[in-house]
Amino acid sequence: LHIKMSVLHITKNNFQSEVLESDRPVLLDFWASWCGPCRMVAPIIEEIAAENDRFKVGKIDVDAEPELAAKFRIMSIPTLVVMQGGQIVNQAVGARAKGDILNMIP
């Protein structure tokens, strides 16, 4: 049985449990509703989440979660961050192709 995974909405309230304590790598998409490139990346992020269950995919709205944006020193969006075992293992700024995003994940 293949469970279709969806994108998690990460907030400061679930960051600890969903990201830091995750048993799988987590791809985080820092975005905002007014950001054009973020809207280009969004469907790719959704697709990656639906196709993969070996890692989690989460989105963090920088306007709604300024503390998380500050914690990761997000200067421009979209920023993609891959976390594993509570550590940042990869990071990329700007819109990326699907293959490039998948290559970031261990």
Positions marked active-site:
35, 38
Tokens, residue 25? 């790598």
Distance between CA atoms of residues 47 and 102, nearest Å: 11
**At 11, which amino acid appears?**
T
> What phi, psi does 42 have (nearest 5°)?
-50, -50
Whether the CB-CB separation of 31 and 77 falls below 8 Å is answered with yes
